[in-house]
Structure 1
């Protein structure tokens, strides 16, 4: 569904991505791993059009959406292609209620009464706290609840591609388990997901495919199961033993 071919991204004077090549197969969850500063967030933001690729191509369903030599799509235009992005910062509107935050993501609804009720009930099943705090200001939610709201907002309408940046960061183990269960449920709907994650228990539990970044490049790509099974590869690429890092409760 998504292809990056030789993508370079500059932010001001800084050259962040140095020729990223990556494939994200349709209907699968691809993990994007790597040490801090490897370029993972920049990759997501470049895909979403928030930062412009200075060289290379970003293709969605074979159509070039970013890169020199094409009519690059703006971020709203990319979103209209049924692509959603959940940033690490979550982007929650603190003064608005949970309900109002969700309504902002509904392209087909102008009021709460017009929201897709079956879809909303499905989300409540995944994230019960959203129903409980429906009319509460989102700023008063816990960190984990805000993360659930950010993901639910991206899922409010069916999406073909979901980009998620470090959803488990800072969450308590119980919230991480809830998050993994929700993403597993989302995977069952054949939604294509590209997920940046530092929690390797989450990566092991969810990933179908994996791409590992280092210094602005993809240095390894393949099946997640192959990385999990190869301790030497884990040490070389990530500096740790993936199996020893997992949370047994997941």
Structure 2
């Protein structure tokens, strides 16, 4: 059985007076894509933010590569997470609007002090998926379209090899052709042994990219298994998600 790179055991998260996660158990196997699915408000984004220590787990434990990184008495900071090889792409993209595309990428490339030190081959590989970033390389990121900002957010996360990617709805706002490019990018990252935990509302995207799946409802994981098996079972999809993948292809 594939070793887990990320594990959450009985994780609870409170945000102010609100109890959002109610004992999340989640296993993210190494060198594969795990889809985190569920209705709006199920707790998916809170799970990603809890892993990144942006919100503190009030109970349970988050472990990365066998070492505790989150939970009562254990909290690794988000910058330390980045140094461990974990990258997070939030739904709000988290780009720097006043900086150029080039400057945004350079900030994310920890090994490069200037653009000349960027990995040219990897940058061209990214441009192959997201050509708009090359076109607007010197433009302020704030002037990009919503879809282009989403491309930039993902590009920032993958400008250097990462051990784990946490990505919240990467296809949101993208044209169909760019969605396909995004799918191709994640497949190639997986083939390069990157572990990915991916929240996505585009169910065809989930079917094409995912190896494993966890479905959340009301702050808990209510189903975990093989993505292909879920994609082939319309009845299970409807019961867990309220609709079938086949109606969204």
Q: TM-score, normalised by structure 1?
A: 0.95
Gaps of 5+ in 2: none
Q: Aligned to 1:19, which of 23, 31, 36?
A: 23
C-alpha separation in 1, matches of 2:137 and 2:191? 26
> Match of 1:110?
113
RMSD, aligned CA: 1.0
Residues 118-141 of structure 1 show CA distances to partners (whole Å, capped at 9, x for unaligned) of: 221221222222111111111121
- In the alignment, the residues of structure 1 paired with residue 134 and residue 167 of structure 2 have an alpha-carbon distance, to the nearest angstrom, of 22
Q: How does 1:13-92 map to 2 (within 5 A)?
A: 13-70=17-74, 72-92=75-95
Partner residue of 2:8 out of 4, 12, 30: 4
More displaced stretch, 120-129 vs 5-14: 120-129
Shift of 1:150: 0.5
Partner of 1:194: 197
The number of equivalent residue pairs is: 245
Q: Distance in 1 between matches of 2:143 and 2:218?
A: 38
Q: Which residue in 2 is equivalent to 1:238?
A: 241
SS of the residue 2:161 aligns to: coil
CA contact (8 A) 2:10 2:23 kept: yes
- CA contact under 8 A between 2:130 and 2:178: conserved in structure 1? no
CA contact (8 A) 2:12 2:19 kept: yes
1:214 aligned residue (192, 214, 217):
217
The answer to whether the 8 Å contact 2:34/2:214 transfers is yes
Instruction: Decide which moves more: 174-183 or 48-57.
Output: 174-183
Structure 1: 5+ residue stretches without partners: none
In the aligned structure 1, how far is the partner of 2:127 from the partner of 2:194? 18
Report the CA distance between 1:172 and its aligned residue: 2.3
Which stretches of structure 1, 4 residues or longer, exceed 4 Å deviation after superposition? Answer: none
Single out whichever of 121-130 and 209-218 deviates more from structure 2: 121-130
Distance, in Å, in 2 between the alignment partners of 1:176 and 1:32 is 18
Report what 2:130 is aligned to: 127
TM-score (norm. length: structure 2)? 0.96
**In 2, distance between residues paired with 1:40 and 1:117?**
35
2:97 equivalent to 1:94? yes
Q: Secondary structure at the match of 2:69?
A: strand
